[in-house]
């Protein structure tokens, strides 16, 4: 074997080893990044037992984040006595809701389309009416997002919802009613709301229009009062050609900052690259605010947010049926928008009242892999360089 043949054979064997020993396994990796957020470390709420056996409901909801919980609350406020059953694969607040910055904002990533002008006030009003204890800062519209999720859970249960955690749906069978199946259970329901945001594609829904993008956030230890006073109380956003950073003050005299965006092959839901991201984020933070250099991050975490190609949330029909809906794609602005989306979903499913038309649009679908991986990360990199912005919805 000559040198050229040796190198060619070595490259082939290496590529095969990388595929069968790494890439192929990675594509089939069903792990989800654990929730290590600051909010959850402040204290986990008790978790409900998983669903077991065969059951029926009037309305089934998949996803225990802000959208699913808001849907349950609004549905039961609309129709007391409705049999509502919410299934959450891990625990309420596990996903993007419990990992967010807890900032309530009006509008969406690209503006204030119809029905979103009062998102923050709408969420605050719901918090007040339900008596949710979530460390609401009224002037800055900031909350503890995990405690908000737990409060919505308690409110939904108080209205009559049955909420089962540790209950992962593996299959959807659509007949006259939809049947949800998973380990040890089945659930038949006349109506369905899929509120899984970035986790939705793993259920085979979204037609390539909804996909997960991973981001990260971190909090400093408690800061001296004079240092903390130098930061604004409301949302703090900075961009540069190096990276962007958003932030807010967090309970206990801390500063919370976040950054980063990365898509993983096959709508992957596991991100183990925290160290690189957070080292870069700390460098950028201390470059912008040198006085923070002596304060390493106390907590750091990642998680997937739901996105669409035009950066606007969507509500879509499952199988073209108005009684089976999915929702997501908030592009990082889901706390208030997800709360409002729950009201839209409840009215659509129970009254037949359609949500604002822009939510029902069909944004451009992404191609299959590997083109999706290349395309999404290319768009992210161009956005980081301020060379590209996704189009607004029509």
- Asked whether the predicted pLDDT for residue 189 surpasses 60, the reply is yes
Other beta carbons within 10 Å of 322: 12
Taking the C-alpha atoms of residue 192 and residue 282, their distance in angstroms, rounded to an integer, is 42
- Asked whether the predicted pLDDT for residue 151 surpasses 90, the reply is yes
Other beta carbons within 10 Å of 283: 13
Contact between 214 and 260 (Cβ < 8 Å): yes
Q: For 332-391, how does the pLDDT look when each residue is reduced to its tens digit (9 = 90+)?
A: 999 999 999 999 999 999 999 999 999 999 999 999 999 999 999 988 887 766 544 433
- Asked whether the predicted pLDDT for residue 9 surpasses 60, the reply is no
Q: For 94-145, how does the pLDDT look when each residue is reduced to its tens digit (9 = 90+)?
A: 999 999 999 999 999 889 999 999 999 999 999 999 999 999 999 999 999 9
pLDDT band at residue 392 under the 50/70/90 scheme? very low
- 63-77, 136-150, 232-246: which range is least confident on average? 232-246
The strand order across the sheet containing 211-219 reads 236-239, 244-250, 254-262, 211-219, 299-307
Helices in the chain by DSSP H: which ranges? Answer: 3-18, 24-27, 38-41, 66-78, 96-99, 119-130, 145-159, 225-228, 274-288, 334-351, 371-384
Res 236: pLDDT: 85
Res 387: pLDDT: 43
The strand pairing partners of 246, in sequence order, are 237, 258
Q: Which residue has the higher pLDDT, 331 or 15?
A: 331
Q: For 17-28, how does the pLDDT look when each residue is reduced to its tens digit (9 = 90+)?
A: 333 334 444 455
Q: For 245-285, how does the pLDDT look when each residue is reduced to its tens digit (9 = 90+)?
A: 999 999 999 999 999 899 999 999 999 777 788 999 999 99
3-state helix, strand, coil in the chain (%, to 5): 35, 25, 40
Res 319: pLDDT: 85
Would strands 178-182 and 185-194 be described as parallel, antiparallel, or unpaired? antiparallel
- Asked whether the predicted pLDDT for residue 195 surpasses 60, the reply is yes
What is the percent of the chain with per-residue pLDDT over 90, rounded to a whole number?
A: 78
Other beta carbons within 10 Å of 115: 18
- Asked whether the predicted pLDDT for residue 199 surpasses 60, the reply is yes
Output the average pLDDT for the chain. Answer: 89
DSSP output for 275-335: HHHHHHHHHHHHHH-GGGTT---SEEEEEEEEE-TTS--EEEEETTEEEEEEEE--TT-HH
Taking the C-alpha atoms of residue 294 and residue 222, their distance in angstroms, rounded to an integer, is 12
Taking the C-alpha atoms of residue 66 and residue 151, their distance in angstroms, rounded to an integer, is 10
Res 292: pLDDT: 96
Which residue is associated with the tokens 């089976």? 324
Other beta carbons within 10 Å of 390: 19
Based on the number of CB atoms within 10 Å of its own CB, is 386 exposed (0-12), middle (13-18) or buried (19 or more)?
exposed
- Asked whether the predicted pLDDT for residue 12 surpasses 60, the reply is no
pLDDT band at residue 207 under the 50/70/90 scheme? confident
Helix (H, G, I), strand (E, B) or coil at 57: strand
Work out the average pLDDT over 172-182: 93
Q: Which residue has the higher pLDDT, 79 or 275?
A: 79
Helix (H, G, I), strand (E, B) or coil at 361: coil
């Amino acid at each position: 074997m000559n040198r050229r043949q040796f190198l060619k054979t070595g490259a082939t064997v290496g590529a095969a080893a990388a595929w069968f020993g790494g890439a192929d396994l990675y594509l089939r990796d069903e792990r989800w990044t654990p929730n290590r957020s600051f909010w959850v470390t402040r204290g986990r709420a008790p978790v409900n037992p998983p669903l077991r056996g065969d059951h029926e409901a009037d309305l089934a909801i998949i996803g225990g984040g802000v959208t699913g919980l808001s849907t349950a609350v609004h549905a039961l406020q609309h129709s007391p006595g409705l049999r509502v059953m919410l299934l959450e694969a891990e625990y309420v607040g596990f996903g993007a809701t419990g990992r967010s910055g807890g900032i309530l904002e009006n509008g969406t990533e690209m503006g204030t389309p119809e029905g979103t002008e009062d998102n923050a006030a709408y969420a605050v009003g719901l918090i007040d009416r339900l008596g949710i204890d979530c460390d609401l800062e009224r002037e800055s519209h900031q909350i503890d997002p995990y405690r908000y999720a737990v409060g919505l859970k308690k409110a939904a249960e108080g209205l009559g919802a049955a909420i089962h955690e540790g209950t992962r749906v593996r299959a959807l069978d659509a007949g006259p009613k939809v049947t949800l199946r998973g380990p040890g259970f089945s659930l038949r329901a006349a109506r369905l709301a899929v509120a899984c945001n970035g986790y939705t594609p793993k259920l085979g829904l979204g037609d390539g229009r909804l996909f997960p993008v991973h981001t990260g956030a971190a909090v400093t230890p408690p800061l001296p009062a004079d240092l903390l006073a130098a930061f604004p109380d409301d949302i703090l956003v900075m961009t540069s050609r190096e990276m962007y950073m958003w932030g807010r003050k967090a309970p206990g005299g801390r500063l919370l900052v976040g950054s980063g965006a990365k898509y993983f092959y096959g709508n992957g839901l596991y991100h183990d690259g925290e160290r690189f991201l957070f080292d870069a984020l700390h460098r950028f933070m201390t470059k912008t605010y040198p006085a923070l250099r002596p304060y390493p991050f106390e907590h750091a975490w990642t998680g997937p947010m739901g996105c669409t190609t035009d950066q606007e949330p969507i509500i879509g029909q499952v199988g073209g049926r108005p009684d089976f809906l999915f929702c997501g794609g908030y592009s990082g602005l889901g706390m208030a928008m997800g709360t409002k989306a729950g009201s839209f979903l409840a009215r659509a499913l129970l009254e037949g009242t359609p949500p604002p038309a822009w939510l029902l649009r069909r944004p451009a679908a992404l191609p299959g892999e590997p083109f999706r991986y290349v395309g999404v990360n290319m768009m992210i990199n161009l956005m980081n360089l301020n060379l590209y912005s996704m189009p607004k919805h029509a």
